[in-house]
Amino acid sequence: MTTAPTPSIFEPARLGPLTLRNRIVKAATFEGVMPRGAVSDDLINFHAEVARGGAAMTTVAYCAVSPGGRVHRDTLVMDERALPGLRRLTDAVHSEGALAAAQIGHAGLVANTLSNKTKTLAPSTRLSPPAMGLVKGATLAELDGVVSDFERAARVAVDAGFDAIEVHLGHNYLLSSFMSPNLNKRHDRYGGSVAKRAEYPRRVIEAVRVAAGSSVAVTAKFNMSDGVPKGLWLDQSLPIAQILEADGHLDAMQLTGGSSLLNGMYFFRGEVPMAEFVASQPKLVGYGLKFYGPKLFPTYPFEEGFFLPFARQFRQALRMPLILLGGINRVDTIEHALDEGFEFVAMARALLRDPQLVNKFQAESVDEGLCIHCNKCMPTIYTGTRCVVRDALVVREAPRPTQ
């Protein structure tokens, strides 16, 4: 019996109908530069820089499928009004030799309804701190409307020149919350058993696949675990993943975990920059964070490739392409992931610290990124997501004005 050789990080690889120039994807990280949802020059430059740095594909996050599905008012809505700016963005990424993905989703319980000035939806009625109040369980008619919103968003993404569409099934956003036993208490076709809780995400993914057509890759960012008591865990997320694989509408899954509603550090790990979080918020919200922040942002020690133990279970159970995410900073971590059968890896914080890191890996000038996992990039999402260490170095190295 022969074993297939481990694929090279830097050889072209297939993702559905696409050919990526290597196996490193820039994961979605909210860019924080979409004032009132506009496609700004800063947003375009953010992704062009990542593409220039060697990543095979960069993911625009977070593209809401409707005004009510925004995280807050400064979130892009994937509709026809955004098309001119989005075309500029995909053109800029393509000119650097990379592909562009659009992450589409509905924030659900994570939506800030005061900022959005419109209501949001949830599987079941419950209190939501991000919504700053009670969110009512969605009616069947409202859920039908959200499916239509996803269809429209997928068509806009294709018209804008995106190569891939990533459906957000993570972090207890709307579709993820339908899968979670502690958030979905419905008694209709969309609640109860594991199969029923998977039904609504399945319906959305099928609608996106049909709307996107065959020339665009469709992937899902998929929660393996919510990281909270009584939430989704592997005993239920693995069967859901198998159901989605059997449906045949996805070209790959990017494996994640955690809850932006209840556990915001599960998918980061490392230091908790609570002082910076408090300073970034309005006074009243910051005051509340001082008391409730430690519960929402518990401390987890950083470990390289921290989702790998969970993701291995999915690699064992599934045949479809999988994208490994979570604390990937080193070449040997990527090589090990490919050796274990993962088709791609996704990087986020490491590329915020050094957008040129993939090129440096390929040139063999470095074998590890410079990210120190301080997570001080997290509070910058309100002013433009960036690495504060890199930001300080850029300021320090700027030329002094002449006298």
Q: Any alpha helices (H) in 266-380, and if so which ranges?
A: 274-280, 283-296, 308-317, 331-339, 349-353, 357-363
Q: Rounded distance, CA 98 to CA 81, Å?
A: 25
Let me know: does 37 contact 73? Beta carbons within 8 Å: yes
Let me know: does 15 contact 343? Beta carbons within 8 Å: yes
Q: Rounded distance, CA 324 to CA 336, Å?
A: 11
* Catalytic-labelled residue, pool 173, 190, 200, 266: 173
Pick the closest to residue 327 from 20, 27, 62, 57 (CA basis): 27
In a domain, 273, yes or no: no
Look up the pTM and report it: 0.94
CATH code (residue 355)? 3.20.20.70
pLDDT at 402: 47
pLDDT at 284: 64
In a domain, 279, yes or no: no
Q: What are the DSSP calls for 240-256, one per residue?
A: HHHHHHHHT--SEEEEE
pLDDT digit string, tens, across residues 192-211: 999 999 999 999 999 999 99
Residues of the chain below pLDDT 50: 1-2, 395-403
In a domain, 315, yes or no: yes
pLDDT at 27: 98
pLDDT at 403: 42
Q: Rounded distance, CA 117 to CA 66, Å?
A: 13
Q: Could you give phi then psi for residue 115, rounded to 5 degrees? A: -70, -40
pLDDT at 400: 46
Q: How many domains does the chain contain in total?
A: 1
**3-state DSSP assignment of residue 304:** coil
Exposure string of 365-375, with b = 16+ CB inside 10 Å and e = fewer, is: eeeebebebbb
Interior angle at CA 336, CA 335 and CA 337, nearest 5 = 90
For the purposes of burial, counting CB atoms within 10 Å of the CB of 1, is it exposed (0-12), middle (13-18) or buried (19 or more)?
A: exposed
pLDDT digit string, tens, across residues 290-341: 666 777 788 899 999 999 999 999 999 999 999 999 999 999 999 999 999 9
Q: Rounded distance, CA 340 to CA 300, Å?
A: 25
Q: Any alpha helices (H) in 25-139, and if so which ranges?
A: 41-52, 83-95, 113-116
In a domain, 283, yes or no: no
pLDDT at 2: 45
In a domain, 351, yes or no: yes
Residue 366 is part of which domain span?
13-268+302-394
In a domain, 403, yes or no: no
pLDDT at 285: 67
State yes or no: is 173 an active-site residue.
Answer: yes
